[in-house]
Amino acid sequence: MSRPRRDPAAGRRAFLAAAAAATAALAGCSEEQDVTHEEVPEPVEERQPLHHRLPDLPVPQYLETVEAGVEEGIAADVDDEESLREALEERDVAVEVLERDGRFLLVEHVADAPEAGVLEDVGVVAGAFLPYAVGSEDPGRLEATLLQADGSPFGSYDALVTWALSHDGSELPLGAYAELVAATLETEQEVPVEAES
């Protein structure tokens, strides 16, 4: 039985709309552009993982988990979208969507047990993105959405092409690349809904 085709950007748009509503009270506006790797996100050390979405780890172990995933993903033989999908599926990442949308590479993947943590899968996708960005003629910026088993989005993260190229040019160590990706990771905490008695 074939599943109906989803709009690949719909899940990301739904998550972004929810995130925008949650942050409406915050003042200021920022816009990230894929111009240079010198743009540094908030250090991971200053971010607190959300309960039930990221494992309860000290920051060094949090980063080690992401970096271990990146090391696993970077070993993939990837040079286009098709080989990227194959590499991720070989590494047990449940990819729902992987396609180009203009200058973006949209990836949606399921975290079957988000309460166990999503860091390793995030690292694997970010790691496999490195050979994709270096080996593709016209790579797109990674825009990834984390999905629950029912297909609803609960998080997102990004990786810039310039970060990948800087790593390939030995200007950005692998650990620093993993930290940049981890710093873009955003998740929303699920609020349990109790049945009315």
Whether residue 173 has pLDDT greater than 80: yes
Q: What is the pLDDT of residues 88-117, one digit of tens each?
A: 999 999 999 999 999 999 999 998 655 557
Q: How far is CA 53 from CA 93, 103, 121, in A?
A: 17, 29, 13
Q: What is the pLDDT of residues 158-169, one digit of tens each?
A: 999 999 999 988
Is 186:53 a contact under the CB 8 Å cutoff? no
Domain chopping of the chain, boundaries? 53-186
Which of 163, 139, 136 has the alpha carbon at shortest distance from 78?
136
Element (H, E) at 107: strand 104-110
What is the predicted pLDDT for the residue at 187? 84
Q: How far is CA 92 from CA 61, 103, 112, in A?
A: 22, 26, 11
d(C-alpha 54, C-alpha 151), whole Å? 18
Prediction pTM value? 0.67
Q: What is the pLDDT of residues 109-143, one digit of tens each?
A: 998 655 557 889 999 999 999 999 999 888 999 99
What is the predicted pLDDT for the residue at 190? 45
Two structure tokens written together for 84? 């990227």
The mean pLDDT value of the chain amounts to: 77
- Residue 175: phi, psi to the nearest 5? -65, -40
Give the pLDDT mean for 156-181: 93
What is the predicted pLDDT for the residue at 62? 73
